[in-house]
Amino acid sequence: MGELHGSAPSPVQRLRVTSTDLDEATALLRSRYAEHHPSFHGSREGFAFGLAATAVAAPAGTVSVDGLRHSMRASALAEPLAAPTVVVPLRGRVRYACGRDEAGAGPTLCPTWDRFRVEWDDVELAVGSVDADGLARVASEIHGIEPDAVAFTGMTAISASRARYVHALLRHLEQILRSHDEVMASPLARAETFRQLAVGLLQVFPNTTHTADAPRSPGFHGPATVRRAVAFIDGHAHEDISLTEIARAARLGPRGLQSAFHRHLGTTPLTYLRKARMAGAHADLQAGDPTRGDTVGAIAARWGFANAGRFSVEYRQVYARSPRETLRS
Protein backbone atom coordinates (compact mmCIF):
# COMPACT_ATOMS: atom_id res chain seq x y z
CA MET A 1 0.00 0.00 0.00
CA GLY A 2 1.13 3.60 -0.40
CA GLU A 3 0.17 7.18 -0.98
CA LEU A 4 0.36 9.34 -4.07
CA HIS A 5 3.81 10.81 -4.39
CA GLY A 6 5.75 12.81 -6.93
CA SER A 7 9.40 13.32 -7.72
CA ALA A 8 10.85 16.47 -6.14
CA PRO A 9 10.33 19.14 -8.80
CA SER A 10 7.16 17.58 -10.21
CA PRO A 11 3.73 18.86 -9.14
CA VAL A 12 2.18 15.59 -10.35
CA GLN A 13 1.58 12.94 -7.71
CA ARG A 14 1.86 9.37 -8.93
CA LEU A 15 1.06 5.98 -7.45
CA ARG A 16 1.59 2.54 -8.96
CA VAL A 17 0.35 -0.57 -7.19
CA THR A 18 0.18 -4.18 -8.34
CA SER A 19 -1.11 -6.88 -6.04
CA THR A 20 -2.36 -10.44 -5.88
CA ASP A 21 -3.90 -9.82 -2.45
CA LEU A 22 -7.66 -9.28 -2.81
CA ASP A 23 -8.06 -7.79 0.66
CA GLU A 24 -5.27 -5.27 0.04
CA ALA A 25 -6.83 -4.27 -3.28
CA THR A 26 -10.26 -3.82 -1.68
CA ALA A 27 -8.84 -1.61 1.07
CA LEU A 28 -7.10 0.57 -1.51
CA LEU A 29 -10.27 0.97 -3.58
CA ARG A 30 -12.22 1.93 -0.46
CA SER A 31 -9.71 4.56 0.55
CA ARG A 32 -9.32 6.03 -2.93
CA TYR A 33 -12.91 6.10 -4.21
CA ALA A 34 -15.75 5.21 -1.84
CA GLU A 35 -16.77 2.92 0.96
CA HIS A 36 -18.27 -0.27 -0.51
CA HIS A 37 -19.05 -3.79 0.59
CA PRO A 38 -18.11 -6.28 -2.16
CA SER A 39 -19.07 -9.90 -2.63
CA PHE A 40 -16.62 -11.86 -4.80
CA HIS A 41 -17.46 -14.73 -7.09
CA GLY A 42 -15.05 -17.42 -8.28
CA SER A 43 -11.61 -18.46 -7.15
CA ARG A 44 -9.11 -15.96 -5.74
CA GLU A 45 -6.31 -17.98 -7.26
CA GLY A 46 -4.59 -16.00 -9.98
CA PHE A 47 -6.17 -12.71 -8.83
CA ALA A 48 -4.51 -9.65 -10.36
CA PHE A 49 -4.93 -6.02 -9.40
CA GLY A 50 -3.24 -2.91 -10.73
CA LEU A 51 -3.63 0.82 -10.15
CA ALA A 52 -1.72 3.55 -11.98
CA ALA A 53 -2.89 6.80 -10.39
CA THR A 54 -1.97 10.39 -11.22
CA ALA A 55 -3.17 13.59 -9.57
CA VAL A 56 -2.31 17.26 -9.57
CA ALA A 57 -3.45 20.10 -7.33
CA ALA A 58 -4.86 23.11 -9.18
CA PRO A 59 -6.17 26.31 -7.56
CA ALA A 60 -9.74 25.00 -7.92
CA GLY A 61 -8.90 21.61 -6.39
CA THR A 62 -7.41 18.26 -7.25
CA VAL A 63 -7.87 16.56 -10.62
CA SER A 64 -6.87 12.92 -11.09
CA VAL A 65 -6.82 10.31 -13.83
CA ASP A 66 -6.30 6.63 -12.97
CA GLY A 67 -5.92 3.35 -14.79
CA LEU A 68 -7.46 0.41 -12.91
CA ARG A 69 -7.27 -3.38 -13.40
CA HIS A 70 -9.28 -5.89 -11.33
CA SER A 71 -9.55 -9.54 -12.43
CA MET A 72 -12.28 -10.80 -10.08
CA ARG A 73 -16.03 -10.94 -10.64
CA ALA A 74 -17.75 -8.98 -7.90
CA SER A 75 -20.78 -6.99 -6.83
CA ALA A 76 -20.99 -4.30 -4.20
CA LEU A 77 -23.20 -1.70 -2.57
CA ALA A 78 -21.28 1.58 -2.63
CA GLU A 79 -21.71 4.88 -0.83
CA PRO A 80 -22.04 8.10 -2.90
CA LEU A 81 -18.69 9.38 -4.12
CA ALA A 82 -17.43 12.67 -2.71
CA ALA A 83 -15.78 13.75 -5.98
CA PRO A 84 -17.53 13.74 -9.39
CA THR A 85 -15.95 10.70 -11.04
CA VAL A 86 -16.27 9.26 -14.53
CA VAL A 87 -15.45 5.62 -15.23
CA VAL A 88 -14.72 4.43 -18.76
CA PRO A 89 -14.64 0.63 -19.31
CA LEU A 90 -11.70 -0.42 -21.51
CA ARG A 91 -12.11 -4.18 -21.12
CA GLY A 92 -14.48 -6.49 -19.29
CA ARG A 93 -17.96 -5.77 -17.97
CA VAL A 94 -19.15 -3.24 -15.40
CA ARG A 95 -22.74 -2.28 -14.52
CA TYR A 96 -24.23 0.32 -12.17
CA ALA A 97 -27.70 0.71 -10.71
CA CYS A 98 -28.93 3.71 -8.74
CA GLY A 99 -32.66 3.67 -8.10
CA ARG A 100 -34.21 2.97 -11.50
CA ASP A 101 -31.20 4.36 -13.35
CA GLU A 102 -28.79 1.82 -14.89
CA ALA A 103 -25.51 2.37 -16.72
CA GLY A 104 -22.19 0.80 -17.58
CA ALA A 105 -22.05 0.16 -21.32
CA GLY A 106 -20.00 3.34 -21.82
CA PRO A 107 -18.61 6.22 -19.77
CA THR A 108 -20.50 6.41 -16.49
CA LEU A 109 -20.66 9.11 -13.83
CA CYS A 110 -20.57 7.39 -10.46
CA PRO A 111 -23.40 8.74 -8.29
CA THR A 112 -22.55 11.53 -5.89
CA TRP A 113 -26.21 11.88 -4.87
CA ASP A 114 -27.16 8.41 -3.58
CA ARG A 115 -25.91 4.93 -2.78
CA PHE A 116 -25.58 2.63 -5.78
CA ARG A 117 -24.89 -0.95 -6.72
CA VAL A 118 -21.98 -1.85 -8.97
CA GLU A 119 -21.01 -5.16 -10.57
CA TRP A 120 -17.82 -5.89 -12.47
CA ASP A 121 -16.10 -8.86 -14.07
CA ASP A 122 -12.39 -8.86 -15.01
CA VAL A 123 -12.18 -5.17 -15.88
CA GLU A 124 -9.74 -2.54 -17.03
CA LEU A 125 -11.02 0.98 -16.42
CA ALA A 126 -10.02 4.60 -16.94
CA VAL A 127 -11.16 6.79 -14.06
CA GLY A 128 -11.17 10.60 -13.89
CA SER A 129 -12.27 12.79 -10.99
CA VAL A 130 -12.28 16.43 -9.91
CA ASP A 131 -12.87 18.21 -6.61
CA ALA A 132 -16.60 18.75 -6.14
CA ASP A 133 -16.39 22.31 -4.79
CA GLY A 134 -14.06 23.37 -7.59
CA LEU A 135 -16.37 21.91 -10.22
CA ALA A 136 -19.32 23.74 -8.68
CA ARG A 137 -17.43 27.04 -8.87
CA VAL A 138 -16.56 26.41 -12.53
CA ALA A 139 -20.21 25.63 -13.28
CA SER A 140 -21.36 28.72 -11.42
CA GLU A 141 -19.08 30.99 -13.43
CA ILE A 142 -20.12 29.50 -16.75
CA HIS A 143 -23.87 29.21 -16.16
CA GLY A 144 -24.54 31.97 -13.63
CA ILE A 145 -26.14 29.78 -10.97
CA GLU A 146 -25.17 29.46 -7.33
CA PRO A 147 -22.52 26.79 -6.62
CA ASP A 148 -24.88 25.11 -4.12
CA ALA A 149 -27.39 24.61 -6.97
CA VAL A 150 -24.92 22.60 -9.09
CA ALA A 151 -25.65 18.87 -8.92
CA PHE A 152 -25.42 15.86 -11.21
CA THR A 153 -28.64 13.97 -11.80
CA GLY A 154 -27.76 10.98 -13.98
CA MET A 155 -25.05 8.43 -14.69
CA THR A 156 -25.23 8.13 -18.48
CA ALA A 157 -23.82 10.52 -21.09
CA ILE A 158 -26.52 12.61 -22.76
CA SER A 159 -25.42 11.49 -26.25
CA ALA A 160 -23.09 9.00 -27.93
CA SER A 161 -20.92 11.81 -29.31
CA ARG A 162 -20.42 13.27 -25.83
CA ALA A 163 -19.57 9.83 -24.47
CA ARG A 164 -16.83 9.56 -27.10
CA TYR A 165 -15.67 13.05 -26.20
CA VAL A 166 -15.19 12.32 -22.49
CA HIS A 167 -13.35 9.10 -23.34
CA ALA A 168 -10.94 11.01 -25.59
CA LEU A 169 -10.58 13.72 -22.94
CA LEU A 170 -9.50 11.18 -20.33
CA ARG A 171 -6.89 9.76 -22.71
CA HIS A 172 -5.55 13.26 -23.36
CA LEU A 173 -5.40 14.19 -19.67
CA GLU A 174 -3.79 10.88 -18.78
CA GLN A 175 -1.00 11.58 -21.26
CA ILE A 176 -0.49 15.09 -19.91
CA LEU A 177 -0.39 14.02 -16.28
CA ARG A 178 1.83 11.00 -16.80
CA SER A 179 4.55 12.40 -19.01
CA HIS A 180 4.49 16.19 -19.17
CA ASP A 181 5.92 17.49 -15.91
CA GLU A 182 7.23 20.56 -17.74
CA VAL A 183 3.69 21.50 -18.71
CA MET A 184 2.27 20.78 -15.26
CA ALA A 185 4.88 23.01 -13.64
CA SER A 186 2.77 25.94 -14.87
CA PRO A 187 -0.03 26.99 -12.46
CA LEU A 188 -2.11 28.07 -15.48
CA ALA A 189 -1.69 24.66 -17.11
CA ARG A 190 -2.82 22.95 -13.90
CA ALA A 191 -5.81 25.27 -13.69
CA GLU A 192 -6.69 24.54 -17.33
CA THR A 193 -6.37 20.77 -16.76
CA PHE A 194 -8.84 20.96 -13.87
CA ARG A 195 -11.18 23.14 -15.90
CA GLN A 196 -11.06 20.79 -18.91
CA LEU A 197 -12.27 17.78 -16.94
CA ALA A 198 -14.77 19.79 -14.89
CA VAL A 199 -16.33 21.34 -18.00
CA GLY A 200 -16.21 17.97 -19.76
CA LEU A 201 -18.23 16.29 -17.00
CA LEU A 202 -20.73 19.14 -16.98
CA GLN A 203 -21.17 18.93 -20.75
CA VAL A 204 -21.45 15.14 -20.89
CA PHE A 205 -23.59 14.06 -17.92
CA PRO A 206 -27.06 15.27 -16.83
CA ASN A 207 -26.89 18.01 -14.23
CA THR A 208 -28.75 21.07 -13.01
CA THR A 209 -26.85 23.48 -15.28
CA HIS A 210 -28.66 21.94 -18.26
CA THR A 211 -32.02 23.08 -16.91
CA ALA A 212 -30.99 26.37 -15.31
CA ASP A 213 -33.09 29.34 -16.31
CA ALA A 214 -31.61 31.45 -19.08
CA PRO A 215 -30.02 34.64 -17.73
CA ARG A 216 -32.37 37.57 -17.59
CA SER A 217 -31.46 40.62 -19.61
CA PRO A 218 -29.43 42.78 -17.24
CA GLY A 219 -30.10 45.97 -19.18
CA PHE A 220 -27.64 48.19 -20.99
CA HIS A 221 -24.08 48.48 -19.69
CA GLY A 222 -21.90 51.11 -21.29
CA PRO A 223 -18.50 50.56 -22.82
CA ALA A 224 -16.74 51.68 -19.59
CA THR A 225 -17.79 48.40 -17.99
CA VAL A 226 -16.24 46.40 -20.79
CA ARG A 227 -13.14 48.58 -20.79
CA ARG A 228 -12.57 47.88 -17.11
CA ALA A 229 -12.92 44.14 -17.72
CA VAL A 230 -10.61 44.22 -20.74
CA ALA A 231 -7.98 46.17 -18.82
CA PHE A 232 -8.14 43.67 -15.96
CA ILE A 233 -7.82 40.70 -18.32
CA ASP A 234 -4.93 42.26 -20.22
CA GLY A 235 -3.12 43.00 -16.97
CA HIS A 236 -3.71 39.61 -15.36
CA ALA A 237 -3.82 37.14 -18.29
CA HIS A 238 -0.66 35.48 -16.99
CA GLU A 239 -2.48 34.63 -13.73
CA ASP A 240 -5.21 32.13 -12.88
CA ILE A 241 -8.16 34.53 -12.96
CA SER A 242 -11.82 33.56 -13.02
CA LEU A 243 -14.97 35.05 -14.49
CA THR A 244 -16.00 36.11 -10.99
CA GLU A 245 -12.79 38.11 -10.54
CA ILE A 246 -13.13 39.74 -13.97
CA ALA A 247 -16.73 40.71 -13.19
CA ARG A 248 -15.67 42.15 -9.84
CA ALA A 249 -13.04 44.30 -11.57
CA ALA A 250 -15.71 45.48 -14.04
CA ARG A 251 -18.08 46.28 -11.13
CA LEU A 252 -20.73 44.02 -12.58
CA GLY A 253 -22.18 40.58 -11.95
CA PRO A 254 -21.00 37.61 -14.05
CA ARG A 255 -24.27 37.44 -16.02
CA GLY A 256 -24.20 41.13 -16.78
CA LEU A 257 -20.57 40.93 -17.84
CA GLN A 258 -21.32 38.05 -20.23
CA SER A 259 -24.13 40.08 -21.77
CA ALA A 260 -22.00 43.24 -22.04
CA PHE A 261 -19.16 41.39 -23.77
CA HIS A 262 -21.58 39.79 -26.21
CA ARG A 263 -23.20 43.14 -26.98
CA HIS A 264 -20.03 45.21 -27.39
CA LEU A 265 -17.35 42.71 -28.43
CA GLY A 266 -19.31 39.80 -29.87
CA THR A 267 -17.50 37.32 -27.64
CA THR A 268 -17.33 36.12 -24.02
CA PRO A 269 -14.96 37.23 -21.26
CA LEU A 270 -13.28 33.82 -21.09
CA THR A 271 -12.82 33.70 -24.87
CA TYR A 272 -11.22 37.14 -24.70
CA LEU A 273 -8.99 35.87 -21.88
CA ARG A 274 -7.86 32.94 -24.01
CA LYS A 275 -7.02 35.34 -26.88
CA ALA A 276 -5.07 37.55 -24.46
CA ARG A 277 -3.07 34.55 -23.33
CA MET A 278 -2.40 33.60 -26.93
CA ALA A 279 -1.08 37.12 -27.51
CA GLY A 280 1.15 36.77 -24.44
CA ALA A 281 2.51 33.47 -25.69
CA HIS A 282 3.14 35.08 -29.10
CA ALA A 283 5.17 37.87 -27.50
CA ASP A 284 7.21 35.36 -25.50
CA LEU A 285 7.87 33.29 -28.61
CA GLN A 286 9.09 36.40 -30.41
CA ALA A 287 11.41 37.22 -27.52
CA GLY A 288 12.50 33.63 -26.94
CA ASP A 289 15.80 32.02 -27.88
CA PRO A 290 16.06 28.24 -28.46
CA THR A 291 19.79 28.41 -27.66
CA ARG A 292 18.86 29.50 -24.13
CA GLY A 293 16.57 26.52 -23.76
CA ASP A 294 13.28 28.22 -24.63
CA THR A 295 10.76 25.74 -26.06
CA VAL A 296 7.29 26.01 -27.55
CA GLY A 297 5.93 23.61 -24.93
CA ALA A 298 7.31 25.58 -21.99
CA ILE A 299 6.07 28.92 -23.32
CA ALA A 300 2.64 27.49 -24.13
CA ALA A 301 2.36 25.99 -20.64
CA ARG A 302 3.40 29.29 -19.07
CA TRP A 303 0.29 30.86 -20.63
CA GLY A 304 -2.07 28.03 -19.68
CA PHE A 305 -2.01 25.95 -22.89
CA ALA A 306 -1.45 22.43 -21.57
CA ASN A 307 -1.70 20.70 -24.96
CA ALA A 308 1.20 21.87 -27.14
CA GLY A 309 -0.33 20.31 -30.25
CA ARG A 310 -3.64 22.08 -29.82
CA PHE A 311 -1.79 25.30 -29.01
CA SER A 312 0.13 25.01 -32.30
CA VAL A 313 -3.10 24.59 -34.26
CA GLU A 314 -4.74 27.62 -32.61
CA TYR A 315 -1.58 29.68 -32.94
CA ARG A 316 -1.34 28.99 -36.68
CA GLN A 317 -4.99 30.01 -37.12
CA VAL A 318 -4.23 33.39 -35.54
CA TYR A 319 -0.71 34.15 -36.80
CA ALA A 320 -0.57 32.11 -40.05
CA ARG A 321 2.66 30.39 -39.02
CA SER A 322 3.70 27.77 -36.50
CA PRO A 323 4.92 28.75 -33.01
CA ARG A 324 8.17 26.93 -33.76
CA GLU A 325 8.76 29.21 -36.73
CA THR A 326 8.17 32.28 -34.58
CA LEU A 327 10.55 31.02 -31.89
CA ARG A 328 13.32 30.32 -34.41
CA SER A 329 12.94 33.55 -36.35
pTM metric for this prediction: 0.74
pLDDT in tens, 261-276: 888 888 899 998 999 9
Domain residue ranges of the chain, discontinuous segments joined by + = 12-174, 213-328
pLDDT class of 220 with cuts at 50, 70, 90: very low
Query: Of all residues in the chain, what percent carry a pLDDT higher than 70?
Result: 93
Q: Bigger pLDDT: 6 or 297?
A: 297
Widest Cα–Cα separation across the chain: 72
Give DSSP secondary structure letters for 106-157.
S-EEE-SSS-EEEEEEEEEEEEEEE-HHHHHHHHHHHH---GGG--B--SB-
Query: Of all residues in the chain, what percent carry a pLDDT higher than 90?
Result: 57
Quote the mean pLDDT of the chain.
88
Fold of 12-174: Jelly Rolls (2.60.120)
Q: Mean per-residue pLDDT for 104-121?
A: 95
User: Is 12-174's fold the same as 213-328's?
Assistant: no
CA 185, CA 204: separation in Å to the nearest integer? 28
**Closest residue by Cα to residue 281 from 313, 328, 327, 235:** 327
Q: Bigger pLDDT: 10 or 178?
A: 178
Instruction: Give the pLDDT confidence score for residue 4 in this predicted structure.
Output: 56
Q: Mean per-residue pLDDT for 200-205?
A: 91
Is pLDDT above 60 for 60? yes
Q: Bigger pLDDT: 153 or 53?
A: 53
Instruction: Give the pLDDT confidence score for residue 222 in this predicted structure.
Output: 53
Instruction: Give the pLDDT confidence score for residue 284 in this predicted structure.
Output: 87
CATH superfamily for 213-328 is: Homeodomain-like (1.10.10.60)
CA 283, CA 129: separation in Å to the nearest integer? 35
Is pLDDT above 70 for 216? no
Q: Mean per-residue pLDDT for 102-113?
A: 94
Instruction: Give the pLDDT confidence score for residue 318 in this predicted structure.
Output: 85
Which residues neighbour 171 within 8 Å (Cβ) at sequence distance 6 or greater?
126
Q: Mean per-residue pLDDT for 283-289?
A: 86
